[in-house]
């Protein structure tokens, strides 16, 4: 199978859908000739024209408001936010309009829109352009939340998001854009709410999201050399969350570590930990559930400080060793 980058997989998913569904269009800042902040939409305005690749004013509130209105009246917009931090400016439209419409109208209203946005650290973009705020969005009933970790998952999950009649927030980690993987040329869909076991193991379960999946896999490979078998679970979607796969894995290993890049305090890892603790998996635990997340600070600009603020492979390795050694 051919290999393409995560970025190319996202672009291909959108382009293929736009070729078969005229109701799908994209709007966002600098997404035309410039191709977006990270080049994801490069070349799309040449194929689809300015009516379907709409360059917007610098106003996330306007982009979100126009997307919600278009979705409510039968279109299927994809709105791009240049950085996930800027979702804060669009929260009224997303939280009070997009998320509530279907419920408030007894299921008769639909808001089929996708919010695509790059998130995460690693680019030296500092405190206002580096945050991971997915727990905010996941807290809102009516919004679905997706965090692909591979090119294959990105294409399949974006297809599912575009087909969904509910608003979906689709997080794309900046450092994953250049990561390559095997991706089919044809369209395919990965159902929202289905986790993936990225690596099977027997001694400890790591539940990781986005780029932390890759760090967890790297840690697992190192730990294997020391005779420690690590199972890595990628939820892929936070909402809906595949609790069954997570609980099944924890029941098998008896130990669990949850790793995400977002700030640990109030992060989504706490929700995963509580779900495990409230399930039948609790009786199988041989050690406390551990959480790894970013320090409770605005993200520093300096690359070494930025790196120190979020979990790295050595941190995951040490957490696994401490968990396995717990008595």
Dihedral in degrees, nearest 10, Cα atoms 112, 118, 120, 124: -160
Would residue 258 count as lying in a domain? yes
Would residue 99 count as lying in a domain? yes
Q: What's the pLDDT at 179?
A: 97
50 and 105 share a domain? yes
pTM comes to: 0.96
Contact 66, 76 (CB under 8 A): no
Contact 56, 29 (CB under 8 A): yes
- CA-CA-CA-CA torsion sign (199, 205, 208, 213): negative
Would residue 188 count as lying in a domain? no
Q: How far is CA 214 from CA 14, 246, 259, 313, in A?
A: 25, 18, 11, 9
Q: In the chain, count of helices (H) and strands (E)?
A: 12, 14
A 10 A CB-CB count for 56 gives 17
Beginning with the edge strand found earlier in the chain, give each strand of the sheet holding 237-239 in spatial order.
53-55, 24-28, 76-80, 114-119, 168-173, 144-146, 237-239
Written as tens digits, the pLDDT of the chain (327 aa) is 899 999 999 999 999 999 999 999 999 999 999 999 999 999 999 999 999 999 999 999 999 999 999 999 999 999 999 999 999 999 999 999 999 999 999 999 899 999 999 999 988 899 999 999 999 999 999 999 999 999 999 999 999 999 999 999 999 999 999 999 999 999 999 999 999 999 999 999 999 999 999 999 999 999 999 999 999 999 999 999 999 999 999 999 999 999 999 999 999 999 999 999 999 999 999 999 999 999 999 999 999 999 999 999 999 999 999 999 997
Q: What is the CATH number of the domain that holds 289?
A: 3.40.50.920
SS3 content of the chain, % helix, strand, coil (to 5): 40, 20, 40
217 and 175 share a domain? no
> How many domains does one find in the chain?
2
Q: What is the CATH number of the domain that holds 56?
A: 3.40.50.970
For residue 2, with 0-12 CB atoms within 10 Å meaning exposed, 13-18 middle and 19 or more buried, which class applies?
A: exposed
- From 130, 154, 182, the end of a domain falls on 182
262 and 169 share a domain? no
Dihedral in degrees, nearest 10, Cα atoms 224, 267, 247, 213: -30
Q: What's the pLDDT at 119?
A: 96
Would residue 191 count as lying in a domain? no
Q: How far apart are CA 97 and CA 182, in angstroms?
A: 38
A 10 A CB-CB count for 35 gives 17
Give the residue from 149, 214, 162, 210 showing the smallest Cα distance to 188.
162
Contact 48, 14 (CB under 8 A): no
Q: What's the pLDDT at 51?
A: 96
DSSP state, 47? Answer: H
Would residue 212 count as lying in a domain? yes
46 and 155 share a domain? yes
State phi, psi for 250 to the nearest 5 degrees. -65, -35
Q: Residue 64 belongs to what domain range?
A: 3-182
State phi, psi for 153 to the nearest 5 degrees. -65, -40
- From 124, 156, 182, the end of a domain falls on 182
Q: How far apart are CA 84 and CA 169, in angstroms?
A: 10
For residue 255, with 0-12 CB atoms within 10 Å meaning exposed, 13-18 middle and 19 or more buried, which class applies?
A: buried
29 and 144 share a domain? yes
For residue 74, with 0-12 CB atoms within 10 Å meaning exposed, 13-18 middle and 19 or more buried, which class applies?
A: exposed
111 and 202 share a domain? no
Q: Which residues are catalytic?
A: 129
Question: b/e for 257-288, b at 16 or more Cβ within 10 A?
Answer: bbbbbbbbeebbbbbbbeebeebebeebbebe
Would residue 187 count as lying in a domain? no
């Amino acid at each position: 199978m051919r290999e393409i980058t995560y970025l190319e997989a996202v672009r291909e998913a959108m382009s293929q859908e736009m070729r078969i569904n005229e109701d799908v269009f994209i709007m966002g800042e600098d997404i035309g000739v410039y191709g977006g902040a990270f080049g994801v939409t490069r070349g799309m305005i040449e194929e689809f024209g300015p009516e379907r690749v709409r360059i917007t004013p610098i106003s996330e509130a306007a982009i979100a408001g126009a997307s919600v209105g278009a979705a409510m009246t039968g279109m299927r917009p994809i709105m791009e936010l240049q950085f996930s931090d800027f979702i804060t400016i669009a929260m009224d439209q997303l939280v009070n309009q997009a998320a509530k419409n279907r419920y408030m109208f007894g299921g008769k209203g639909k808001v089929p829109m996708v919010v695509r946005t790059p998130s995460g650290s690693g680019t030296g973009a500092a405190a206002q352009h580096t945050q991971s705020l997915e727990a905010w969005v996941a807290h809102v009933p009516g919004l679905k939340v997706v965090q692909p970790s591979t090119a294959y998952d990105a294409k399949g999950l974006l297809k599912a998001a575009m087909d969904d009649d509910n608003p979906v927030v689709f997080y794309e980690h900046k450092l994953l854009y250049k990561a390559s993987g095997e991706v089919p040329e044809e369209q395919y869909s990965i159902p929202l709410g289905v986790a993936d076991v990225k690596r099977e193991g027997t001694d400890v379960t790591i539940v990781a999201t986005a780029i932390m999946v890759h760090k967890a896999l790297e840690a697992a490979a190192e730990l294997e050399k020391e005779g420690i078998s690590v199972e890595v679970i990628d939820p892929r979607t936070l909402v809906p969350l595949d609790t069954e796969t997570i609980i099944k894995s924890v029941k098998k290993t008896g130990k669990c570590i949850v790793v995400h890049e977002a700030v640990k305090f109030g992060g989504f890892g706490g929700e995963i930990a509580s779900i495990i603790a409230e399930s039948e998996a609790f009786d199988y635990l041989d050690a406390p559930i551990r959480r790894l997340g970013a320090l409770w600070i605005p993200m520093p600009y300096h690359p070494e400080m930025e790196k120190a603020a979020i979990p790295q492979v050595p941190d995951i390795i040490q957490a696994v060793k401490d968990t396995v050694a717990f008595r």
